[in-house]
Structure 1
Amino acid sequence: MTGRFAGPLDRLLARLGLRAPPPIATVEQRLADVLATETPADPSHKDQRDRFLGMLDLGERAVEEVMLHRSAIEMIDSSLPARNVLDRVLASHHTRLPVFSGERENVVGVIHAKDLLRAVSRAVRDNGADALADFDLLSVAMPPYFVPDTTPLDEQLREFLKRRTHFALVVDEYGSLRGLVTLEDILEEIVGEIVDEHDAEAMQTLTPNAAGDYLIDGAMTIRDLNRALDWKLPDDEANTIAGLVIHMAQSIPAPGQAFSIGGFRIEVVARRENRLTRLRIRPLQP
């Protein structure tokens, strides 16, 4: 119960020996707490629990927690010749690619592979192959859609549906590019990993070795790992496994260093510059 009538109504109900219903947020939190403590024996029940938790959690999480980091975004330089752009688009697994001018931070548009191929086909059909020399890439690009990194996931989901789009570039409070988020990223928070023919090639196989250790990509999110293995690694201070280790270490540890975090032993296996690329993790015995 919220608003200026909540207090008087609560007092009136108390005089009548009644209690006001708890706020919706309180009900949602209680339900989430109950679901989180349950450990279903049936795998199908676990999937249902995870979906409910994912839906309840959307309002508490921001796009920065599920976005693809800017360092991993595949982009097109607007100054490239049309033939090079075509080669890159055809080789890409993505249908939408941001276009930048000058610096990667300066995103000036987003091209859809289908729109590009149609425009190129039309230009070549009308004017021959020489038309590619003067082809204007930005003429087929859509305006970029920017969203703040603090936007709650439930709000962003509504915006995607309202705009009938599913691709947004994420910026911080200063307007600097931080990453990109898609409708699929948000839906995966509810239903789990959505795997297509391209994702299947890159999917991590979470299989322990004889000692019970799992070899994990440092970029894997804590939430995905917890969901896959029904673990409870803390995710309050970091989004990825590598980020969690760096947060706990307060530095960038070297290969061979190990840490005890939330009932798990996590060892750094490989590091590339300032990135922890490979980690070995196993639950500690109670």
Structure 2
Amino acid sequence: MKLQPTSDAPSLHIDEHIARIRLRRPAQANRLEPQDLDLLLDYCGQLSARPEVRAIIIESSGRYFSAGYDIRRIVDIAGQSAADTLENPFEAVIEAFERLPQPTIARLHGGVYGGSTDLALACDFRIGTPATEMFMPAAALGLLYYPSGIQRFTSRLGMQTAKELFLLGEKIDAQKMLDVGFLSEIVAAEALDARVMAIAARLIAQAPLAVQGAKRAINDMARNEFDRWEFKLREAQALRSQDLKEGLSAWSEKRPASFTGR
């Protein structure tokens, strides 16, 4: 059964090669609720099956990017179960985002808090403004973060930065986010949309098999999940592709290539 989003639930809009996921709960700092998680997983499934989509932008309305997942929902899960271990439902959503085949861009116009820091980190590019800031309040709230999130922060930003963010829980500004590698770049607020779209345009102009194959290899290496045999299969597919022939022809003819993903 197809999920029907409510008026304040995250939306998905696809325009030719670009998909946009928008968080639409600005009055609650774009906090994610349990019903949003199934919807976001559904969006990830839809996008993974749409080869014509070559770039995905995640953005939000209002002052903040997002306050992350409502921690009270996690407490409710813990209180309703006597099991020795528990699954955090938010973790599955972030893993699905990171494993999307298409490259992803996080448009970070404002505050990035709690679980939304991991949502942004799971994206391939994170573009901020001088107003962008972040903090991870897990320890201040008594929450031990889920393992893949801690692993992502540690592998992407380094052990010392991960400790500072998770143990100290201090708010850091855009420049610090750039310095530690959380932000890909900072642009003026009025230039944010143009820069995000320029990156998306650059991505969709590249050969999809090469872009998606490289993204998967890089992420797999960062997770210590790299499978050389699977990569060699993808490499052979790219070497035999029509896109490679088109790319070589366009290069020699000094014209833009027109890739089809085949």
TM > 0.5 fold call = no
Answer with 1 or 2: which has the greater Rg: 1
Which structure has greater helix proportion?
Answer: 2
**TM class by shorter-chain length?**
under 0.3
TM-score (norm 1): 0.24
Relative contact order higher in (CA < 8 Å, ≥ 6 apart): 2
Which structure has greater strand proportion?
Answer: 1
